[in-house]
Structure 1
């Protein structure tokens, strides 16, 4: 097996413990966590719900998160090699959660001691990144307006927490010049856009005013997104409008990713309320479709230059939620799955397969149906999504977190320009689409133990936001986000699912254990930058293994802020 960097330069044999990658003249040292790969055939993935046993007790309350969803993040706050779990508070006046990994398969909640209670705002999306280059991961929280709690005060200030290196955090929002961010922010992403060695920040915003339970009309407008260029001195400068990337759609998904593989990070934005061709004529929508902003490098003044990629044949989702990136067909380029609504035969969640570049623009093809990612005869609202290798066979699989709005699926009658319609109790099972290694997927969520459903302890609960108060029905798991990490460092990837009406779930991957020896073990890489970007966010790694019919090339990218307002582990 060999590992290659962005320029396809051979680094070294897999059996060497350290490597150097030169990316934009920045050296990244790679430390191998696990270096055994014995084949391409693995047992089917097996997961166990270990939420209670691991000490996880997160329950979302009746807030805006119940509608548009909240985020979560895996973050190694103390650099001990074990990922910790952070979930922002969903309700103003209540604390967030920081679960510190005890390195024995469990967690201890330390948010109050760490200074991360953040009770003054309602947390939504989370992005992780070392913004000041001190070697410790910092936390950015996008705060959406909490329309369900009177008085409705409108947008709330986002928060940037500096990691002090001693398991405590300090609010540095004002000092970092982020205090003017008073939009109804939903999601955010970190990445080094100008390749100067420090992390910049993109923030996706939503509707600026009003109660989310009321009608949304064509007179409403979404708030422009913001881009903060890192000045390298602990402060940021907002440049979204100047750079032409402010995108005034109702953004629910962002990711910084090198989609054209030219060595710099581009920005992908997915928006709610755009205009897919299948909707009823006359319905209201905002004219800001899902967009790739192609990074064309910096000008003579060192300022980034972007081009809105409008010729890539990227299929718009109509109501874009989460985004995930992965090379699902192992052909050497990145593909993108975007979550959205599925209504009857109208499928808006989209798998965009990257194809040959034309005139400098990467082209995409919609492979959703061909790949078997359409769930027939079902109404679904998908939020968090993530490509990851569930069974360690070298091909990324896809997890999709579903959940109804307000605890029930609606008629979604857009022809009347409203969210309205009758809320119905409907189970929203999550999906684990296993990669068949031939361009198609098969849903194995139930067999793998990660389908979700009605938790036994919650079966008698009545959803507090039931639109039919005289009708009682059980609260199904209504998922919002999913994040991935091998939190127990046993060689397979585990997942945390944030739910909207019941306890969130920690699923431990038991595909590799003593009773189920693997045919292949995963190669895990932790990248360490020698500059301020110490997690090497934005780096791409290719791994080549095998020969002949067993030859395999895998492509991975380190990212912060993807899925639906969430950040998975930085370990590849």
Structure 2
């Protein structure tokens, strides 16, 4: 089988992380097919040429081994999975799973409790595009784009389709906000892969960055307007969930044209803002170092679990600053074939401290820390509170 992205999350709140692996198609050396388009131009086969396959969910046994629970957990459903992200979209304390599928409807697996799932993509409004048809889903991420405390969903698709943004309305329903948010116009020409919600300018709201590149290297022969090498996108959020492309004004890194694929974000130099790493097909990776985000203040939080998993994966953090509540999750796996910095980042704007931090540990009690100084990396150990606080740039 052809596996793709994976992600970790504690599906049953038993304190250890379980593993979800997407699988693309039923592809093997004995069923390779040769595909062409007009005039015998070489092309990759459409995924529908092969049969779709279910993804795999492994439950952690707590002793270093895993058990395949795909069927009994309710996620045994055929699709062409490429991207996956864990996130508690309905805020019920049980982590859910979203899967970006290529040319088949996307999956939203709602956790009904103790790791038993129901697929609810179609009736929640997150399975297809605005025209009701499946899109070519590649990468995905979840994040609160408009500050209402609810996780919204972003999905990258092939060029000519636009990438998708699903706005969480609460009560288990989503609205397609692709065009209302500005995402549609900004992404229409591009084939997207990796993507991340992140706050690059430290103003407290989630912006977006996307890795783009066409699927096939002879794309020009197939479409005159196509290009294998494409620029990547930086989409700035105005705080209400409206996005504007600002890549051209944000440095030479966003002027590069390459066949980009995976993308991850994290503070590589510990200076208080988020940098970007992008992998490219057949080329070296690019590191885009953020040199302006730290003009505003921020806080990073490293979670260390005790009763829950070691890294606190699946914890939900709520930071109160100047009457605004910022919601962030500790995630292990999202985007496309990528893993972001596990430390949780909060942009504070010009605030010099945060009033209150709530950490909702997976399956455990809420921990509260108050009066947190800005521009520091805070380590919180479950049950013990803040055990370390160092300024940005601190060297051991």
Length-normalised TM-score, structure 2: 0.77
Confirm whether residue 311 of structure 1 aligns to residue 123 of structure 2. Answer: yes
Shift of 1:422: 7.5
Secondary structure of residue in 1 paired with 2:249? helix
Q: CA–CA distance in 2 between the matches of 1:408 and 1:253?
A: 25
Going from structure 1 to structure 2, the CA distance change for 1:333 and 1:216 (only over 3 Å counts) comes to closer
Q: CA–CA distance in 2 between the matches of 1:424 and 1:333?
A: 36
* Pairs within 5 Å for 1:234-273: 234-273=64-103
Secondary structure of residue in 2 paired with 1:374? helix
From 297, 303, 320, give the equivalent of 1:521: 297
Whichever structure has more strand as a proportion of its residues is: 2
> 2:215 maps to which residue?
405
> 1:163 maps to which residue?
none
Q: Is the 8 A contact 2:179 2:185 kept in 1?
A: no
Aligned residues between the structures: 326
Going from structure 1 to structure 2, the CA distance change for 1:406 and 1:426 (only over 3 Å counts) comes to closer
Superposition misfits of 4+ residues, deviation over 6 angstroms: 420-423
Q: Is the 8 A contact 1:407 1:501 kept in 2?
A: no
CA RMSD of aligned residues (A): 2.2
Confirm whether residue 539 of structure 1 aligns to residue 315 of structure 2. Answer: yes
* Pairs within 5 Å for 1:160-559: 183-209=1-27, 210=32, 213=43, 215-216=45-46, 218=48, 220-274=50-104, 289-298=105-114, 304-309=115-120, 310-317=122-129, 318-343=135-160, 346-347=161-162, 349-357=163-171, 362-375=172-185, 379-409=189-219, 425=227, 427-449=229-251, 451-454=253-256, 476-512=257-293, 518=295, 520-531=296-307, 533-546=309-322, 551-559=323-331
Segments of 5+ residues of structure 2 without an aligned counterpart are 35-42, 130-134, 345-396
Q: CA–CA distance in 2 between the matches of 1:501 and 1:389?
A: 29
> 1:464 maps to which residue?
none
Deviations 1:80-123 (A, max 9, x none): xxxxxxxxxxxxxxxxxxxxxxxxxxxxxxxxxxxxxxxxxxxx
Secondary structure of residue in 2 paired with 1:297? coil
Shift of 1:509: 0.9
Length-normalised TM-score, structure 1: 0.54
> 1:466 maps to which residue?
none
Secondary structure of residue in 2 paired with 1:341? coil
> 1:284 maps to which residue?
none
Segments of 5+ residues of structure 1 without an aligned counterpart are 1-182, 275-288, 299-303, 412-419, 455-475
Greater Cα radius of gyration, structure 1 or 2: 1
Secondary structure of residue in 1 paired with 2:311? coil
Going from structure 1 to structure 2, the CA distance change for 1:253 and 1:196 (only over 3 Å counts) comes to same
Shift of 1:503: 2.1
Q: CA–CA distance in 2 between the matches of 1:378 and 1:269?
A: 21
Secondary structure of residue in 1 paired with 2:54? coil
Going from structure 1 to structure 2, the CA distance change for 1:351 and 1:290 (only over 3 Å counts) comes to same
Going from structure 1 to structure 2, the CA distance change for 1:425 and 1:400 (only over 3 Å counts) comes to closer
Q: Relative CO higher for 1 or 2, CA cutoff 8 Å, sep ≥ 6?
A: 1
Shift of 1:234: 1.1
